[in-house]
Copies of this chain bind each other. A is one copy, B any other.
């Protein structure tokens, strides 16, 4: 950056990934963040083959696809990344990222831990946030309270969450989504975004 550019501040949109183990509250925090300033953020809608949870809306929360529809997206190379997450497929439609970057708004993605590593490889200047609970017990409790999981799914998810916790070093930031205080987590992520816009050495996100 040279002095002449200094007064023509470039406001590159940033791409922020909210990740973390299943059960930490990625969906809730991402949604609350968007709600603080809907005109400022572009929420990348993920495709999944899992059934909707109560209140979830197709096209807003997820694209709920059949296995055949998902398979077609894979075959057409329409997905930035995809993975099997507890017997269900989840993936990020490339078109979503293109639309998001084209919008000029800050892009918010919600991706599982293995997916976040893939995003980093493809988009090196993505900002990766690891969302966690305040304790391991609290994470177990939240997974248990999710009525949607079968008991054998539960122990698998707890074991997976423990493994995923070890990958925090691959992330830029970590934020605690403490029980009863999700505002702090949302505020911290908003601060991470605001700080990113002030970075001297920030380059545009490209796909």
Contacts and interface: CB of A to CB of B under 8 A. Distances in A.
Contacts of A129: 198
Contacts of A3: 162, 165-166, 168
Contact of A175 (B134, B135, B198): B198
Contact of A198 (B2, B135, B192, B198): B192
A12 interface: no
Contacts of A9: 174, 176
A195 B1 CA distance: 23
Interface in A141-193: 162, 165-166, 168-169, 171-176, 187-188, 190-192
Nearest to A176: B9
Contact of A194 (B169, B171, B191): B191
A185 to B, nearest CB: 10
B200 A169 contact: yes
A200 B171 contact: yes
A165 B198 contact: no
A7 B135 contact: yes
A49 interface: no
Contact of A191 (B162, B171, B173, B195): B195
Given A3-B165, A173-B199, A173-B200, 18 more contacts: A2-B166, A3-B162, A3-B168, A6-B165, A6-B174, A7-B132, A7-B136, A9-B174, A9-B176, A171-B200, A172-B201, A173-B195, A174-B200, A187-B194, A188-B195, A188-B198, A191-B198, A195-B196
Q: Which 8 A-B pairs have the closest CB atoms?
A: A195-B195, A191-B194, A191-B191, A3-B165, A173-B198, A192-B195, A3-B166, A191-B195
6 contacts: A2-B166, A6-B132, A7-B134, A172-B201, A187-B194, A195-B196
